[in-house]
């Protein structure tokens, strides 16, 4: 039963988190062209962060599974919903933004300024704060609900 609950938790993480995360990633990186009508800023973003965006997406897919597993473990230990949501969001964002920063550093190694790292650091902080009270909370709630439902069967 525990293994089934764990798999359901990870599946919940993927089913809710993946579409929302991928859509959000697309919107954020397509926003400059949609606001200005010009593609110059988008070209600069892709030139600076192109490989890092791909790394972020791959890391995101992996992070959702790990965070779903962690959420299951936290909720099984009777941790609070908000605590579980914070840990879920922190896990996902720490993984994806760490990969993003590492790939950006490797890809832009020859540039002496570290100015291009301001965006991912600010994004990490904002994402953890926002996702804790939105998508992380929803996923944690759904996992908790599935645990309760399947435990009663």
Q: What is the pLDDT of residues 18-41, one digit of tens each?
A: 999 999 988 887 777 677 766 677
**Token match 């089913």: residue?**
15
Give the span between the Cα atoms of 132 and 134, in whole angstroms.
6
140 and 14 Cβ atoms separated by less than 8 Å: no
Give the span between the Cα atoms of 73 and 102, in whole angstroms.
29
pLDDT at residue 108, as a whole number: 77
Phi/psi of residue 111, each to 5°? -80, 130
Each residue's pLDDT tens digit in the chain (153 positions)? Answer: 789 999 999 999 999 999 999 999 888 877 776 777 666 777 777 777 889 999 999 999 999 999 999 999 999 999 999 999 999 999 999 999 999 999 988 887 776 667 778 888 999 999 999 999 999 999 999 999 998 888 776
The model's pTM is 0.88
């Amino acid at each position: 039963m525990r293994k089934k609950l764990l798999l359901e938790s990870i599946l919940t993480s993927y089913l809710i988190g993946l579409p929302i995360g991928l859509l959000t990633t697309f919107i954020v990186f397509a926003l400059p062209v949609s606001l200005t009508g010009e593609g110059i800023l988008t070209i600069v973003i892709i030139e600076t962060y192109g490989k890092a965006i791909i790394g972020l997406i791959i890391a995101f897919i992996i992070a959702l599974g790990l965070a779903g597993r962690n959420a299951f473990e936290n909720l099984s230990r009777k941790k609070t919903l908000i605590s579980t949501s914070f840990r879920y969001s922190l896990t996902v964002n720490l993984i994806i933004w760490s990969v993003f920063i590492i790939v950006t550093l490797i890809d832009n190694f020859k540039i002496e300024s570290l100015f291009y790292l301001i965006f991912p650091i600010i994004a990490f902080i904002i994402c953890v704060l926002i996702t804790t009270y939105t998508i992380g909370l929803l996923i944690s709630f759904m996992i908790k609900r599935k645990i309760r439902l399947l435990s009663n069967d």
